[in-house]
Amino acid sequence: MFFLLVMYFGFVLGQNDNKDSIQTLSTFTISSARLEEFSAGIKTVSYDNLIMQQYAHQSISELIAGESSLYVKSYGAGGIATVSLRGTNANHTAVLWNGFNVNSPMNGQMDLSLLPVGFFDAVSIQYGGSSSLWGSGAIGGAIHLSSKPHFNKGINVQLNISSGSFQTHKQSFLVEVSKKRMLNLVKFINCIAENKFLFKNTYKPNLPLDRQSHAKIKSTGLISENHFLLTKKQKINLLFWYQETDREIPPTMLQAESKAFQSDRNLKLSTEWSLHDNKKSIFVRSAYFNDYQTYNDSTSHVYAVNTFQSFINEAETKISVRELHDFNLGINNTFISAVATNLPTNPRQNNSALFISYGYKSKNNRLQFNLSGRQELLSKKLLPFTFSAGTDFEIFKSTSLHAQVARVHRMPTLNDLYWSPGGNENLLPESGYTQEIGFKWNYTYNKIKLSTTPSIFNSNIKNWIIWLPEDNFWRPKNILHVWSRGVDTFSEIEIRKNKFKVSIAVLTNYIVSTNQKAISIYDASYEKQLIYVPMYSGYAKINLSYNAFQITYKHNYVGYRYISADNTQYLTPYSLGSLFISYNRTFKTFGATIYFQCQNIWNEVYMNMATRPMPLRYFNAGISLSYNKQEIN
């Protein structure tokens, strides 16, 4: 911690920008070679600048819910939100910030509602198992949040202001100074919302119109990035991220009132040094995370404090041989300590990992093949060895095939092991295998582009951890054997004519995720769909743009979600429509964008989680102002 602070402030306050004639790359991504060069066969979806700008004032959970067919489990406006990939739980999805896993070691999850889209330059989703690349938890997939700094771009200033329904007000600004050898930027976001929305209470007779109460949220965040070109081949960065969120926990539809509060304080520091030349790349990175959370409910007389610290150190190198073969070798050490009301032992964990990858790319770039392996050591115990093998193969000029097989695992969380009462220190890691095969077809005729990408996937995970009642409290056990399989598709058509552009995209998900192991002869969950995993879901979008004017309509469908293990209770399907309209003008160094959004345009009555109300139709409008000066004297 002390080292990172000294490095951070020393560079920010003491760095001089000496002018010279060194030619530098205009942009680079802060991530290891694993993401871009050793992920063959893994389906990856990245969001472009246009989509990122639309969601700049919203959270990662809202981005994923609005721009994919993934199911986001949301507890309502301002509430906790997690995501499920390919029939797994939230703790089976790794969330990585510039290569660092930011999931909580206490519950293995990341509350995506706490992550502002505006803090990141790029967001991408990797589907399927990638434990050999990213470690424990990357069973269903991984969400990557990345920075893409651009050198020598001058001064950039942005101001965004928006207001909407439920007394929602958001402000953000960005100040960036980009020189030949140094880049400094600061992003600030502030949000306050009362969230007193109307909803139909489906748990009361005659479905009365109730108003949500005790749902206020206030969130403030600051991120600072500092990037330096030490030499033509060497770079270093220092990143600082602090965020605090205070929110009231609203009552369910069955409660008369709630007096619960939750506060989150999150600090993240990281630094990375890298060296690049024609034949090799070296990365050395470190991070310190400090997360502090309090929960207070005077009605049930519950007060809990949960805090953890993570120290992550990692080094890796990539070596290229004859431009056809790439080798990547790295080590990782993660030390975690936690102090929590229900963790009386104040546990500590020290996890070390050795990972290696091999990549082959043919001279004509028609074939790419990767093979990766990872061995982790936790508290002197070897965890399951994980591996992956994947390929991308261009069959024809317009058609390519991708396939992957992987062994994956997830370590028990601190809550699983040490929660009092109920923790089980004898838990085994969840482990299993995932497979995927699919193809991508692209066709261009004149100014018309067509593409489609269907994928078939399968996974079998043993020792799946589930909490069960025992001796008047709940206790986790390695009970389930979960088999998840299905098909996801993406298809798009784009037509351009002069300054007019129209695009239509359709995504679909079909997932069967069942328990294949009966706990007893009376186990009603055997071969039943897991709870909160929709079998059918889909998404369609049409975008029209002409000059500086843009209009987008999106429609999401989510099918039945069972809320009981025997599949006798469920939430009904729902369809949500949303509208986005924007107009942008640029005047030399100045730019302005005004926009309008309407969510749940058809006034759908629905629930994401049982007893948790969701708002009816609501609106949001805002303006973004920008200033850019290309040259710096």
Distances (CA, A) of 271 to 31, 104, 633: 12, 20, 28
Is 452 within 8 Å of 488 (Cβ atoms)?
no
Give residue-wise pLDDT tens across range 606-629: 999 999 999 999 999 999 999 998
Q: Which amino acid is present at 98?
A: N
Distance CA 615, CA 623 (A): 24
pLDDT at 18 > cutoff 60 = no
Domain-located, residue 18:
no
| 3-state SS class at 151 | coil
Q: Which helix (H) or strand (E) holds 260?
A: strand 260-276
The proportion of the chain whose per-residue pLDDT surpasses 70, expressed as a percent, equals: 94
Q: What is the DSSP letter of 472?
A: T
Tell which residue, 37, 36, 138, 38, has the closest CA to residue 371: 38
Average pLDDT over residues 442-458: 94
pLDDT at 5 > cutoff 50 = no
Domain-located, residue 164:
yes
pLDDT at 517 > cutoff 70 = yes
Give residue-wise pLDDT tens across range 185-216: 999 999 999 999 999 999 999 999 999 999 99
The CATH number of whichever domain residue 496 belongs to comes to 2.40.170.20
pLDDT number for residue 220:
96
Range of the domain at 120: 2-13+30-629
pLDDT number for residue 48:
81
pLDDT number for residue 632:
58
| 3-state SS class at 563 | coil
pLDDT number for residue 30:
47
Confidence of residue 1 (pLDDT cuts 50, 70, 90): very low
Distance CA 345, CA 415 (A): 11
Q: Which helix (H) or strand (E) holds 103?
A: none
Q: Which helix (H) or strand (E) holds 270?
A: strand 260-276
Distance CA 616, CA 606 (A): 9
| Lookup: tokens for 621 | 């409008």
* Cα end-to-end span (Å), the chain: 36
Residue 524 half-sphere exposure, CB side, CA atoms within 13 Å? 7
Distance CA 419, CA 414 (A): 7
Average pLDDT over residues 569-582: 95
- Residue listed under structure tokens 């993240």: 268
Q: What is the DSSP annotation of 300-330?
A: TTEEEEEEEEEEEEEEEEEEEETTTEEEEEE
pLDDT at 493 > cutoff 70 = yes
Instruction: State how beta strands 549-558 and 536-546 pair.
Output: antiparallel
Tell me the β-bridge partners of 130. Answer: none
Cis preceding-peptide flag for 421 (omega within 30 of 0): yes
What is the b/e burial string over 587-600, where b = at least 16 CB atoms within 10 angstroms of the residue's CB? Answer: eeeeeebebebbbb
Distance CA 473, CA 624 (A): 52
Count CB neighbours of 48 within 10 A.
8
Domain-located, residue 211:
yes
pLDDT at 150 > cutoff 50 = yes
Confidence of residue 25 (pLDDT cuts 50, 70, 90): very low
Domain-located, residue 144:
yes
Tell me the β-bridge partners of 624. Answer: 160, 593
Domain-located, residue 24:
no
Domain-located, residue 19:
no
Confidence of residue 79 (pLDDT cuts 50, 70, 90): confident
Average pLDDT over residues 264-279: 94
Tell which residue, 185, 187, 55, has the closest CA to residue 119: 187
Confidence of residue 8 (pLDDT cuts 50, 70, 90): very low
Q: How does the average pLDDT of the chain come out, rounded?
A: 90
pLDDT at 174 > cutoff 70 = yes
pLDDT number for residue 358:
96
Average pLDDT over residues 586-610: 93
Domain-located, residue 23:
no
Is 595 within 8 Å of 575 (Cβ atoms)?
no
Q: How many domains does the chain have?
A: 1
Give residue-wise pLDDT tens across range 220-259: 999 999 999 999 899 999 999 999 999 999 999 999 899 9
Is 255 within 8 Å of 126 (Cβ atoms)?
no
| 3-state SS class at 247 | strand
pLDDT number for residue 9:
37
From its phi and psi, is residue 412 left (phi > 0), alpha (psi between -120 and 50) or beta? beta
pTM for the whole structure: 0.91
Domain-located, residue 81:
yes
